[in-house]
Homo-oligomer: A and B are copies of this chain.
């Protein structure tokens, strides 16, 4: 009996928009985005808001309601916006995931309705996961509010949820309906959330674009001073490079490599080892510092370039050492962070593939890491960047 061969392509497309004051009545961006669906009836819309954003913007829920009323021919709010606790912890909270799915069910949100999530990367990851698995996928619009979410995580095609103590153990590849970056949300970020997303821009510049790296370096002081145009420029270019990268190669990651994840094998593990007290971007800064030093020790990168990168990260205010970097695994006696290599490989599947640097703007993939050199690199970070203990005389 002959074999049947199935073969088809699925086309995905979405816009990443930049705006200010998304919910002021005169701003028509959201209505234009919704109307891309060509529907002739009012769109059913349900909002999820990160609790951190709701606190910093107490009028937001009311603004959304007014906006929906002002554009009632286009959209219809299905219910009050649902406020969800922000931060990585939300991705461990099975009960909250269930509540969101229940709200999707109770409010009759169908595949042609919209779940619009406003918040940091963690809330967007979790809400995106709920949207992807309810009814096999409802339409999802992301409104990222942190630098990291605007320049990196929200721009891509992934969602996630943590399980079994592993970051992003669950998730799917599910392109959003649209991504809308509103720079007004950046104004109320605390310094950590303002800073931490810069590391993703440095990361992508280091492996792909020396010109962008130099631009970040030139703007470093402005970025520290919270200059908005400098930050907008960084976010736009970083988001653009992500969009190009994802669309150009292997969007659903069927291969073994993840070329954009420079510095990430250690970052993911450090987040877990610090019980997520490190922000993702903060952990990435340490991961970059580690792999940059390792690249130098391995003889791939010059000492001057290594120094330049560590200097930039330090100038931007990133802590480049945390005690968890030197902690040992109770069972193996080895550095606990090194287990991140195995977990990184296991998550992607296939052969271990780690991105390192040969020069600023040029990454290269390797398939093994020398543990002795890694220990050496960690020691160097410790001696240089360990916070000074104050001695009382």
> Is A385 located at the chain interface by the 8 A CB criterion?
no
> Is A18 located at the chain interface by the 8 A CB criterion?
yes
With A110-B349, A110-B350, A350-B112 as given contacts, are A247 and B6 in contact (CB-CB < 8 Å)? yes
Which residues does chain B contribute within 8 Å of A170, judged by CB atoms?
A: 101, 133-134
Option from B3, B112, B348 in Cβ contact (under 8 Å) with A16:
B3
- A265 to nearest B CB, angstroms? 14
Is B39 in contact with A239, judged by CB distance below 8 angstroms? Answer: no
Counted per complex, copies of this chain come to 2
- A278 to nearest B CB, angstroms? 23
Is B112 in contact with A172, judged by CB distance below 8 angstroms? Answer: no
> Is A105 located at the chain interface by the 8 A CB criterion?
yes
Interface residues of A in 126-167 (CB under 8 A from B): 132-138, 155, 158, 160, 163-164, 166
Is B4 in contact with A240, judged by CB distance below 8 angstroms? Answer: yes
CA distance A137 to B170 in the complex (A): 9
Kindly supply a per-residue 1/0 record for chain A positions 1-32, scoring 1 wherever the CB is within 8 Å of any chain B CB and 0 otherwise. 11111111111111111100000000000000
**Interface-lining segment among A248-256, A289-297, A329-337:** A248-256
CA distance A158 to B137 in the complex (A): 11
CA distance A89 to B129 in the complex (A): 24
For A, the interface residue count at a CB cutoff of 8 angstroms equals 67
Is A110 in contact with B346, judged by CB distance below 8 angstroms? Answer: yes
> Is A219 located at the chain interface by the 8 A CB criterion?
no
Which residues does chain B contribute within 8 Å of A164, judged by CB atoms?
A: 101-102, 105
With A6-B14, A163-B101 as given contacts, are A133 and B133 in contact (CB-CB < 8 Å)? yes
User: Residues of A with Cβ closer than 8 Å to B?
Assistant: 1-18, 39, 101-102, 105, 108, 110-113, 132-138, 155, 158, 160, 163-164, 166, 168-175, 232, 236, 239-240, 243, 246-248, 251-254, 256, 345-350
State the 7 A-B residue pairs at the shortest beta-carbon distance, nearest first.
A111-B349, A112-B349, A110-B349, A7-B13, A1-B18, A4-B16, A112-B350
